[in-house]
Amino acid sequence: MSSQDVLKKASTLASYNVLLQVMFRVLTFLMNAVTLRFVSKELIGVVNVRLMLLYSTLVFLSREAFRRACLSGSSKTGQNWRQTINLLWLTLPLGVLWASILVCVWLWLLEVPDPQDIPHYAPAVGLFALAALQELLAEPLWVLAQAHMFVRLKVVAESSAMVAKCVLTVVLVVSAPEWGLYIFSAAQLVYTGFLVFCYVIYFLRFLGSEEANKKCFPIYSVGDLLPRTASGEPAIDWTLARLTWSFFKQSFLKQILTEGERYVMTFLNVLSFGEQGVYDIVNNLGSMVARFIFLPIEESFYVFFAKVLERGRNVKSQKQEDVSIAAEVLECLLKLVVVIGLVITVFGYAYSHLALDIYGGSLLSSGAGPVLLRCYSCYVLMLAVNGVSECFVFAVMSQEEVDQYNVVMLALSVSFLLLSYMLTWWAGAVGFIMANCLNMGLRILHSLVYIHRYFHSSPWAPLRGLLPSPVLLLVLALSAVVTALSEGVFCCDSGWPLRLVHIAVGALCLLCVLVTTLLTETQLVHFVRTQLLPQHRKKSA
């Protein structure tokens, strides 16, 4: 597969993933809006912070290293998929081990919620761990689908699972709110069950079909998806296993950085369950765009960079055509996420209070909610740059460089936990965002230095993508001033007529920003039209 073909596949995957994540966030957004009317913020805090932290920790530590290593290995010519699948099945026993440890921690070492206010905590812990293990059953299928860029499979599987989860949650919350944690446990089991079911059904129908033969798919039967050995060869690829171990050490540290504030809230009790619930809701709103745009781009283009560039080799020893394409794509991706991040930062400041008031009423718009969302709007810009820059760096690092970066991640993890604890006592929940910003800034600095050194001896300079046009920056600055004045005059204690004026002012400013972008960022617009818009790409093909 040529570099251009890989780029098209990765772009298709990214664009469909963005659409998928938009749907996820909209459904979750609506579901939370409903559940806020029927359950307490304390229950939301236990589910979205305590139990989802258990689930995400178990899943992340069990599979993240395997995903990164095996997707990097999928770029090799003649990869032994038998050994790769055997390696991927190790995620399940590793998950059982992590589940045993984490369930004990969640039940016996952490503060248990009051049974009168939040019953069924212990069974819910077990059910969330079971849901995580259930999802790991599909891991070999997920990696196969991602490596061969089966776009529709991921879209159908994850959208079906999310719809089922949201529908079940809303129905049970409205009809039987007294079930409490059992509602969310059942919904999580349904979600992971749908994921596994969709992947299994797809591969049962795909393997051995004419389409599989036409694509020269390396797996021929269902039996090949199960762990087994072939005579005369090791059970697993030990080079890939060592790379997995390097990523495993890194993934543990990355999880602390990704979910650090939840670990601090969970283990140090710096916020009550009610405060955790409000923080989590605001955090989900603030990170909505980051999750449904930046994360799919990062995941999809990590596959692109890993396939186009050979890990551990410098620029001069790579195919120059591949390096040129990778540099151009990296520059456009950086420009794209910087522009989106700046737009969110500018308009997030002036519209945080109104958004929270519409979404959750005075429960969210009073107190620290608006300040939290404003701070998060600034943090989104850093999330955007970090996601794309690390996506490239992790795809081209050698194993030795990955091991060295683990030391950096360890230092960042320790500093982040300390900063989170100290800043939270000083500034409340805002301290979590401040600590995140400081650590994210250090991670961005490391990635940018690595990228600069990587392309230093070449004619390409993809870091130019970090600098939008001066005209666009001027329009964004004027928009920030105008919308801030509009909020002070028209929002948010006034009635809806004045609020609509405030919204209209923001819409007009946003239109000016979009027009300026179209006129000044022509290379970026061309990249988005030709690579990230599926309909246009189909017509051009």
Q: What is the pLDDT of residues 170-220, one digit of tens each?
A: 899 988 888 889 999 999 999 999 999 999 999 998 888 888 888 778 888
Q: Following DSSP, what letter does each residue of 56-82 receive, concatenated?
A: HHHHHHHHHHHHHHHHHHTTSTT--HH
| Cα(150)–Cα(159) distance, integer angstroms | 15
- Residue where the block lists tokens 């070492």: 109
Q: How far apart are CA 350 and CA 344, in angstroms?
A: 10
Same domain, residue pair 368 and 343: yes
Backbone angles phi, psi at 275, to 5 degrees: -65, -35
| Contact call for residues 94 and 247 (beta carbons, < 8 A) | no
What is the spatial distance between Cα 455 and Cα 451, in angstroms, rounded to a whole number? Answer: 6
Do 125 and 189 belong together in one domain? Answer: yes
The whole-number pLDDT of residue 541 equals 40
Nearest CA-CA partner of 377 in 304, 450, 471, 480: 480
| Same domain as 139, residue 97 | yes
Q: With a cut of 50, list the residues of the chain below it in pLDDT.
A: 77, 535-541
pTM > 0.85: yes or no: no
* 399 shares a domain with 324: yes
- Of 225, 251, 277, the residue that ends a domain is 251
pLDDT at 187: 94
Separation in Å, CA 438 to CA 160, 259, 375, 424: 38, 15, 13, 14
Please report, for the chain, how many H helices and E strands are present, in that order: 24, 0
pLDDT digits (tens, 9 = 90+) for 416-430: 888 888 888 888 788
Specify whether 183 is located in the same domain as 332: no
Could you tell me if residue 172 is inside a domain?
A: yes
Report residue 277 as tokens. 């619930």
| Residue 530: CB atoms within 10 Å | 14
pLDDT score at 14: 62
The pLDDT value given to residue 538: 45
Residues 273, 308: one domain?
yes
- Rounded to whole angstroms, the Cα distance separating 55 from 266 reads 14
pLDDT for 536: 45
pLDDT of residue 540: 41
Asked, for residue 402, whether it belongs to a domain, the answer is yes
Residue range of the domain that includes 121: 39-251
Q: How far is CA 301 from CA 12, 13, 73, 147, 329, in A?
A: 10, 9, 15, 12, 9
Query: In terms of domains, do 308 and 228 share one?
Result: no
* Cα gap 398→313, rounded to integer Å: 8
Q: What is the pLDDT of residues 9-66, one digit of tens each?
A: 666 666 666 666 666 667 766 777 777 778 877 888 899 889 999 999 999 999 988 8
CB–CB of 62/91 below 8 Å?
yes
3-state SS, residue 299? helix
pLDDT for the residue numbered 344: 92
Judge if 44 and 122 occupy the same domain: yes
Q: Is residue 483 in some structural domain?
A: no
219 φ/ψ angles, rounded to the nearest 5 degrees: -110, 130
Structural domains of the chain, count? 2
Instruction: Give the Å distances, CA to CA, from 156 to 16, 109, 196, 202.
Output: 11, 39, 12, 10
Residue with tokens 């230093």: 456
**The last residue of a domain, from among 251, 271, 293:** 251
The sign of the torsion formed by the CA atoms of 485, 486, 489, 493 equals: negative
